[in-house]
Amino acid sequence: MIIKLFDEKKRAIKLLNGSISCGKNLRKAFITIGKYCKHIGLNKERTSDLVLDWLKKQNCSSEFDSVIKDLEKAVNSVYKKDYIFIHDINVKIFKNEVDFINELKSRGEKNIAFSLLYLSKIFGNSFYCYHQTLHRLTKLSIRHIKRVIKKLEVYGFIDIIRKDKGKKIIFKNGKAIKRYSYPNTYKIKIDGEGEVICLVGDIEDIFDLINLIK
């Protein structure tokens, strides 16, 4: 089963049918499975039971009580905040959007712009996006991505509704070793209208989209 970047249905089914080592991605697994269960109509209590049954089959060395608390928080968040379950992606790319992006100066600007456009059609306009997600889509460095985003704002392609702010800094021996940040929240300022060039499903990277519109 090929798992692309945004296909949560395939990812959830793969998780349910397989196993993982309990680590930093365990909460993400709880969220993914929880969203899938909610999508197929299970209530919160049934979802919690199913995720717990799945957890018992995993290779987990963490303290079980702590993991159970994470599981309960994750499932509660899925239902309380009504998390979106991403599946059957089929977004429209319009000619006027492509024409605007093709007028940008550099390949990096075009790749980041197409990535943000694609993400806006999946998550809605406005949407938040981590720099790491753009890195996965474009293979560009985080430093380069930050420079390009500033340019795209100047060009009038995006509004940055909220810029990343420090959320939490972890210190060790008086030295900051890790910094967690909120992602930027973006709004695409170009309204897609007129001729539809292509319909795009889930992708592995932004070059899947670029190859479709050539």
**Most confident region among 47-51, 81-85, 124-128, 175-179 by mean pLDDT:** 47-51
In this predicted structure, the answer to whether residue 211 has a pLDDT above a threshold of 80 is yes
In this predicted structure, the answer to whether residue 1 has a pLDDT above a threshold of 60 is no
- Higher-confidence position of 28 and 4: 28
Range(s) within the chain of domains with CATH label 1.10.10.10 = 91-213
Distance CA 112, CA 152 (A): 9
Residues of the chain with pLDDT > 90, as a percent, come to 57
What contacts 39, CB < 8 A, 6 or more positions away?
9, 85, 87
Average pLDDT value for the chain: 87
In this predicted structure, the answer to whether residue 26 has a pLDDT above a threshold of 70 is yes
Q: Which CATH number fits domain 91-213: 3.40.50.2300, 1.10.10.10, 2.40.110.10, 1.10.3720.10?
A: 1.10.10.10
Tens digit of pLDDT for each residue in 167-178?
666 666 777 666
What does residue 152 show for φ and ψ, rounded to 5 degrees?
Answer: -65, -30
- Higher-confidence position of 62 and 90: 90
For residue 23, what pLDDT is reported? 56
Q: How confident is the model at residue 21 (pLDDT cuts 50, 70, 90)?
A: low
* 3-class secondary structure, 197: strand
Ramachandran sector of residue 174 (left: φ over 0; alpha: ψ -120 to 50; beta: rest)? left
Tens digit of pLDDT for each residue in 62-82?
677 778 888 999 999 999 998
Q: How confident is the model at residue 59 (pLDDT cuts 50, 70, 90)?
A: confident
pTM of the entire structure?
Answer: 0.75
- Higher-confidence position of 194 and 2: 194
